[in-house]
Amino acid sequence: MKLKENIALYYSDESKKVVINSGTKSFLITDNNRTFYNILLNLHNLSKDSELSEFLIQNDLVFPEYKQTRDDILLNERTLLYILDRASSKLVLSDLNIIEILNAPILIIGCGGIGTIVFNNLLQAGFNNFTIVDKDKVEQTNLNRQLFYTKEDVGRGKIDVLEENVLKNWSGVTIKKWEQFITKEEQVLNILDQANYQIVINCADTPSNIEYIIAEACSEKDIPVISGHVGLETGTINPIYDRYNQFNKSDSKEISAHLKASISTTNMVTASLLSQIVFDYLFKDIVKSSYNFYDYHVINFKTMEITEDG
């Protein structure tokens, strides 16, 4: 048994209490003789049946049991620690539980300011099975906010450049490409038939009803879908629609006229929040989250507030 990495532990001589800080939570244990404090400094010999052990597990203060079963599965150490730090202490996990999620096929529609950042975030988190959809060519104006592209790529297809750069620098990654603009539901249904997608991420902003087109197709195939877009003053992450939160036409909002004004920072913030929600959703049986996947999340760039709206 071992305390999670995000735990800060100290002893208050004034109050004779052990103080355990775990992120946004704090716990106090009366400990006149530093007995509990000394035990907490070295948990290796603590019985799982003890009252202290039950307290630590109940409040998710210790790592869950984890077993590495295969030498050929190499998980990034930092990513693994992040997952285990957020996991319930009651779980018994192995590398197979985690790699199964990271192998999940993910469909990203739109490889622009939001899509390339989402792709990069999920790639670095360890996901390795992607399908990307876009028909745009790289333009000079893309370079202020879109990843993977350089001035030498101007005029080339975005999905070709993205695939080339990723495969050159990463091993064990699968990328399937669809070079097309999505304008009707049948196109999406055709793509969805090609793999057992665990989630669809819509990062496209045209046509104006793109969210409706994609969400309708995903609803028909019972595949979770989420969308994100950025404006001048706000960034918006739509709810996840799945079997527990069914999409209906009244939920659809048309995207306003394409905004030319853009900057890397607002795209990064919006796409990173979108990526985090996708990560948490796919790992929802392992990691704990306190927010609602089925709410809108709106970032106000003027106040730097994030509001949730059901």
| 140: containing domain | 103-309
Q: Is the sign of the CA dihedral 75, 77, 82, 86 positive or negative?
A: positive
- Domain assignment present for 2: no
N-terminal to C-terminal alpha carbon distance within the chain: 39
Question: Which of 132, 195, 119, 188 lies closest to 160 in space, CA to CA?
Answer: 132
Considering the domain architecture, whether residues 165 and 249 belong to the same structural domain is answered as yes
Q: Is-contact 234 301, C-beta < 8 A?
A: yes
Q: Give phi and psi for 196, each to the nearest 5.
A: -90, 70
Are both 93 and 109 inside the same structural domain? no
296-300/305-309 β-pairing: antiparallel
CB-based contacts of 96, cutoff 8 Å, min separation 6:
69, 70, 73
pLDDT(201) > 70: yes
Q: Do 39 and 126 belong together in one domain?
A: no
pLDDT digits (tens, 9 = 90+) for 76-108: 999 999 999 999 999 999 999 999 999 999 999
Q: pLDDT band for position 251 (50/70/90)? A: low
Report yes or no on 167 lying in a domain. yes
> In CATH, what number is assigned to the domain containing residue 118?
3.40.50.720
What would the pLDDT profile of 132-145 be if each residue is shown by its tens digit?
A: 999 999 999 999 99
SS3 assignment, position 30: strand
Q: What is the pLDDT of residue 258?
A: 67
User: Token digits for 144?
Assistant: 């202020």
Q: Give me the mean pLDDT over the 41-69 stretch.
A: 92
Which among 245, 302, 233, 240 is positioned nearest to 274, based on CA atoms?
A: 240
Q: Is 183 found in the same domain as 46?
A: no
| Residue 267 shares a structural domain with residue 152 | yes
Shared domain check, 281 and 168: yes
* Peptide bond between residue 207 and the one before it cis (omega within 30 degrees of 0): yes
pLDDT at 44: 85
Q: Is the pLDDT of residue 257 over 60?
A: no
Domain count, the chain: 2
Question: What rounded mean pLDDT belongs to the chain?
Answer: 94
Q: What whole-number percentage of the chain has pLDDT above 90?
A: 89
Same domain, 184 and 279: yes
Q: Residue 151 — very low, low, confident or very high, per pLDDT cuts 50/70/90? A: very high
pLDDT mean over 252-281 = 88
**What residues contact residue 169 under an 8 Å CB cut-off, 6+ apart?**
none
| Domain-located, residue 111 | yes
- Is the pLDDT at 310 greater than 80, yes or no? no
Which of 59, 79, 97 is the last residue before a domain boundary?
97
User: Is 93 part of a structural domain of the chain?
Assistant: yes
Q: Taking a C-beta distance cutoff of 8 angstroms, is the pair 113, 105 a contact?
A: no
Do 187 and 284 reside in the same domain of the chain?
Answer: yes
Of 97, 116, 143, the residue that ends a domain is 97
Q: If DSSP codes are grouped into helix, strand and coil, which group holds residue 193?
A: coil
- Which of 43, 76, 97 is where one domain is finished? 97
**Whether residue 62 sits in one domain with residue 35:** yes
Name the pLDDT band for 256 (thresholds 50, 70, 90): low
Query: pLDDT-derived band of residue 71, with 50, 70 and 90 as boundaries?
Result: confident
Indicate if 89 and 126 belong to the same structural domain: no
User: Within the chain, how many helices (H) and strands (E) appear?
Assistant: 9, 13
Beta-carbon count within 10 A of 55 CB: 15
At residue 39, the 3 state secondary structure works out as helix
Least reliable range by pLDDT among 60-74, 88-102, 138-152, 156-170: 60-74
pLDDT digits (tens, 9 = 90+) for 280-306: 999 999 999 999 999 999 999 999 999
Q: Are residues 157 and 264 in the same domain?
A: yes
Could you give the residue ranges of the DSSP H alpha helices within the chain? 35-41, 51-58, 77-86, 95-102, 115-125, 158-169, 185-192, 210-221, 264-282
Say whether pLDDT at 43 is over 80. yes
Are 141 and 284 in the same domain?
yes
Mean pLDDT of the region 236-258: 82
